[in-house]
Amino acid sequence: MRLQQAVENQLAPLTLPLAAPVKVRATAGREQAVVELVELDRLGASVQRVTVASPVLATVELESLRRLGDHLAQQLCYLLEPLRVIECDPEGHTVQMRSVQPHRQGQDRYFYELWLRRGGELELLRWHTEPAAGIKEQVPMQLTREILLRLVGDLEQAIRLVEQESG
């Protein structure tokens, strides 16, 4: 079973709409996903964080993580703003990706941030900033259920590409 299907199976029995935030945990093979839901209904989800972890990334080199970031920048074109690699940290063995152009509402900015960590984790968050007020806060992502599942599947597929590359 694929991770995308495992997450879908964990979403299916949830009572809708959600009464309180829920962490959905799913495993398929060696990969694990954690989806932190704030709200969920038949069509959409308000998601605080999506994390996909795999031992495949435990010892991967920084250059492989950077290539993974470039791949994900092309693959995740369905998010509100396109992502790109903005920083590669050789000491922490992490790659940070962000929205190329943040969404703007007046002075407010909204953007995605995707972390690729050598320790074995891909983590997607959404941020809101108000530069004039010095505010930066994490906010939920608004995703359809279909996009949420596709996202999990694409993150898992990206890990498989790293595995093939290093294999």
Domain boundaries, the chain: 3-166
pLDDT band per the 50, 70, 90 thresholds, residue 133 = confident
Q: What is the pTM of this model?
A: 0.94
**pLDDT of res. 123:** 98
Q: Can you give the three-state secondary structure of the chain, one letter per residue?
A: CCHHHHHHHHHCCCCCCCCCCEEEEEEECCEEEEEEEEEECCCEEEEEEEEEECHHHCCCCHHHHHHHHHHHHHHCCCCCCCEEEEEEECCCCEEEEEECCCEEECCEEEEEEEEEECCCEEEEEEEEEEHHHCEEEEECEEEEHHHHHHHHHHHHHHHHHHHHHHC
Each residue's pLDDT tens digit, 26-57: 999 999 999 999 999 999 999 999 999 999 99
**pLDDT of res. 146:** 96
pLDDT band per the 50, 70, 90 thresholds, residue 165 = confident
Each residue's pLDDT tens digit, 96-109: 999 999 999 998 99
